Structure 1
């Protein structure tokens, strides 16, 4: 992980001046999505980079120790060994960026990764995920317990009510408290952008989250009706760029929810490269929150190596 964001003072003047040009954002987002993508060896290389940025995720009510263990072993070996050998990439240490689970499953994930001899970080959702509507005391305790169980990254959710009612001081203070509760663990702040009402609110919430010490800002829980979209992402990465220009602090970005295809993954990487630069094309500053994306990427790599598409049983399950 990158150096932690120490945070900055709450600049209400900056927040009050924010205005987002929605038509311009929509035009730029459309441009990114419709551009021709890279091909052949270049595409395979970009897809392998995407794999290293995936937070391999299971957030289901029927999660058990066994399916978390299976997910962890898939995170350690996300692409079949013979496919990596065919591309001469078998010795490059390609793993997923992290394993993301509910707090109750953190210990299972930590134990499985330790048994596999793997140092992939375990990320835990917290703070009343996905709605963030539980009492503050409960949300803070949930963060502390996840850290105690071994989580090295916390995906916390904000109370969207504070954004919708413009309570920026209260939002800043809550996120600062979550930051303190994380201790040495890195904090990814989920904005729940589908619930925030406008692109201007999304930009303001992004700024407040970064000022309060967020190491990453994340689009969605994956549980909202609208999750990671390119217009929303564009507003958030521009906020990251502006924050970096003003403070010198690099904050990461994580789109999550509904990202399922290799083609989409390439578009997200392209967005990061063009808007923030090559420094943000690493797992330290970019993650893709996904549960089914890896399967499609592995199918595309299988096709790149063999010239044919894999049958369902050819690739190990995540």
Structure 2
């Protein structure tokens, strides 16, 4: 059984930890491009890595036309993400996704369907996806989501504060959000596609962790550019730096743009090579996705039966 990680207590703001950061972007891109060729995962090993990806997925619906019925279908899929006969053929008794992620108004509907499953409900908050709301309203949204039963809160940072290098203001906002979250896990969404440079990504990651974030997350899924391997590499190395400074392990969540089983494998290889096996567990690694699970289940079906199932045979969330 996985041993839960110790929660990040945060630190006072220490800009000296990141002010001098310089990142060689072409080198980061070359390192990321080399990942698919570094490990060849075939047959039962590939299937095992794909099952591990499933247990790390935050199965997500964040659409303007979300309804309680749609959320209920998603939660049913979270409870049984892979068909039972496929799991039985692989000797697996039970598998769920890492969490379900919804808007605050959908939290109570998700909690009802997931009762007794052990699957946590994550809620976006703080003016998702742009975060352009007064701070008191953003904090009130966190408290509303918690009152509805949310176990985890995915907050968005103020991108303008990063672009202005106003680290103290960003830190103060994040500390207020962390306090509002109380015992709920706080995942800080950096919206990396809007931060312009990898250096800004690294610096924002440091501030988010120093403010007590339990996870740092790439994207809302609503930006023109969402999770990429070079951005993820940068964030993982800042997690490593923070651990070296403080001893705290902070989780990572790529979101947006992960759609295929191959993506799930690539990001897990990156986690293993940069941070080690502990970051292949759902308490330190989540994948924000909606369509990814369908392709993973299709690959699992091929592994078990030797053929690809028609899409209509695999239940959608």
Among candidates 77, 80, 100, match of residue 77 of structure 1: 80
In the alignment, which residue of structure 1 is the partner of 2:8? 5
- Answer yes or no: is the 8 Å Cα contact 1:125–1:154 preserved in 2: yes
Match of 1:308 in 2: 307
Secondary structure of the residue aligned to 1:99 is strand
Instruction: Provide, for residues 188-231 of structure 1, a one-character-per-residue CA deviation record: whole Å limited to 9, x for no partner.
Output: 00000000010000000000000000000000000000000000
Q: Distance in 2 between matches of 1:246 and 1:36?
A: 30
Residue deviations 1:85-115 (CA, integer Å, cap 9, x gap):
11111x1x3100000000110110011111x
SS where residue 101 of structure 2 aligns?
Answer: strand
Q: 4+ residue runs of structure 1 moved beyond 6 angstroms? A: none
- Give the TM-score taking structure 1 as reference length: 0.97
Give the aligned partner of residue 61 of structure 2: 58
* 8 A Cα contact 1:186 1:215, kept in partner: yes
How far, CA to CA, are the matches of 1:104 and 1:135 in structure 2?
Answer: 19
Tell me the equivalent position of 1:181.
Answer: 180
Report the secondary structure of 1:16's partner residue.
coil
Using structure 2 for the length normalisation, give the TM-score. Answer: 0.98
Aligned-residue Cα RMSD (Å) equals 0.9
SS in 2 for 1:300: helix
Task: Summarize deviations over 1:256-280 as a string: whole Å, max 9, x none.
Answer: 0011000110000000000000010
Segments of structure 2 that go 5 or more residues without pairing to the other structure are none
Partner of 1:35: 38
Alignment match, 1:194:
193
Q: Secondary structure at the match of 1:124?
A: strand
Matched, 1:25 2:35: no
CA-to-aligned-CA distance 1:29-84 (integer Å, 9 cap, x gap)? 11113435300000000000000000000000010000101111100000000001
Contact 2:6 2:248 in 1 (8 A): no
Q: Which residue of 2 aligns with 1:150?
A: 149
Q: Distance in 2 between matches of 1:96 and 1:37?
A: 25
Equivalent runs, 1:213-232 vs 2, <5 Å: 213-232=212-231
Asked if 1:128 is matched to 2:127, the reply is yes
Mapping for residues 107-122 of structure 1, pairs under 5 Å: 107-114=108-115, 117-122=116-121
CA–CA separation in structure 2 for the residues paired with 1:240 and 1:138: 29
Once residues 132 and 36 of structure 2 are traced to their aligned partners in structure 1, the CA distance between those partners, rounded to angstroms, is 34
Task: Please state how far the C-alpha of 1:4 moved relative to its aligned partner.
Answer: 1.9
Residue 139 of structure 1 corresponds to which residue in structure 2? Answer: 138
**Deviation at 1:313?**
1.8
* 8 Å CA contact 1:37, 1:266 repeated in 2: no
Residue 15 of structure 1 corresponds to: 18
Give the equivalent residue in structure 1 for 2:95. 94
